[in-house]
Structure 1
């Protein structure tokens, strides 16, 4: 008996089906991978946008609440005075420039004055704070590091709005008044042990330093021997005239 067999080409047909299934699965995996990658990119972009928004909002808050809200001006003023030995004030006046920087914060009712190291020797560098809320003025001797506090003289020191206008005109260079010198004599009295209750601005310049309360005294005319006194002399312009503040310690 003869057995006849045939090699049919359809025996391996399941192969292409498996290839199609694998291709479909690979495609689905590619789609899922692409979707996952897109999702990660979207989440990353959302995270970056959130961080950027936080930085912008945080920066605005820091600027609003922590950065000083003020305008800084630089001004110069000339004053003149006649020689006391002149007759009937007919001697020629001499001019001497006085310059300073002003940090004026109108919304906080404060004026911080920086009197730099002068070009002339007959004056001393200092920092001055005029606190119009607490009605106090503080002087910081930048050479010795001592602080002095006295009630604010509102008859001389202009309020922040007027000071701002004055310094704005001075900073343009087109307004340079030639005015007179006003002298005031102050003497250090008792030492202030705690300056924390004098306000944050005075505390910022006087905290940790020897601080004294000041009293006014009438200027002494003529020659007086004051070898026992150590005096600080500050020329500044809290108004449209120059004030020479002389602060002495016994």
Structure 2
């Protein structure tokens, strides 16, 4: 007879010592390496703002340069700038003085259709230094009396003032050696009629000349009327040359 017996089965298997088989992975911070930080997003908004500011500043600089060249430093070719000296006979207004000389600088702007004349302090006296603009496009003349630091505006008298092209041809011939003979002087009388408030209506060239100065309108006095003695103290004259003769502009102020 065969006897069969059963061994009791344990609920838990004996644990084996597997410490020798374990592989330990060292941590990064334990080896002295800095921890890896997450990347920040690229500042797209700041880049766009900077680019926009660069474009804005560039446009502002270009606009400033354009305004400066247009209103402050007009570029003129060298053959459009003249230094003139004219000998004339003042037999009507100063017969004892005889021959006199007038000196001025002339700039002719053919493209913009205007002339600018600078009359320095005269050697003989009796006339004020002045800057003058004849704007043929707007039909206006502006006198800046430097001694008084005031501007006077009147309608352009095309009978006395040569157009820019004609005056340019005249001065080119004089510059080449075709000198003008001794000429004469005529007088025009002006009277102040009122103050000019809106300067921009005068155009950019006259506006630049008379900016921040007291500006008045002039009216030509009737040739039959003469300057009264009580008005002579309020009158001043500007002698200039923009034709084949010299013009003395007498400005009288009633205010």
**Structure ranking higher in helix proportion:** 1
Looking at structure 1, the residues matched to 76 and 131 of structure 2 have their Cα atoms a distance apart, in angstroms, of: 19
Unaligned runs of 5+ in 1: 1-57, 86-90
1:74 is the counterpart of 2:83: yes
TM-score normalised to structure 1 length: 0.66
Residues 187, 215 of structure 1: 8 Å contact kept:
yes
Q: 1:92 Cα shift? A: 9.2
The one of 101, 119, 125 equivalent to 2:123 is 119
Equivalenced residues, count: 186
RMSD: 3.0
| Cα deviation code 1:33-92 (max 9, x no counterpart) | xxxxxxxxxxxxxxxxxxxxxxxxx9xx98x9775134210111111143589xxxxx99
| Cα deviation code 1:97-135 (max 9, x no counterpart) | 111100111111010000111111121100000000000
Looking at structure 2, the residues matched to 129 and 68 of structure 1 have their Cα atoms a distance apart, in angstroms, of: 16
Q: Which residue in 2 is equivalent to 1:177?
A: 181
Looking at structure 1, the residues matched to 220 and 209 of structure 2 have their Cα atoms a distance apart, in angstroms, of: 22
Looking at structure 2, the residues matched to 101 and 107 of structure 1 have their Cα atoms a distance apart, in angstroms, of: 19
| Cα deviation code 1:179-230 (max 9, x no counterpart) | 1111000011110011111100000111111111100113578884235742
Q: 1:166 Cα shift? A: 2.1
Unaligned runs of 5+ in 2: 1-61
Query: Which aligned segments of 4 or more residues in structure 1 are displaced greater than 6 angstroms?
Result: 220-223
Looking at structure 2, the residues matched to 127 and 246 of structure 1 have their Cα atoms a distance apart, in angstroms, of: 15
What are the equivalent positions in structure 2 for 1:1-250 lying under 5 Å apart? Answer: 67-70=74-77, 71-82=80-91, 94-172=98-176, 174-218=178-222, 224-226=228-230, 229-250=233-254
TM-score normalised to structure 2 length: 0.65
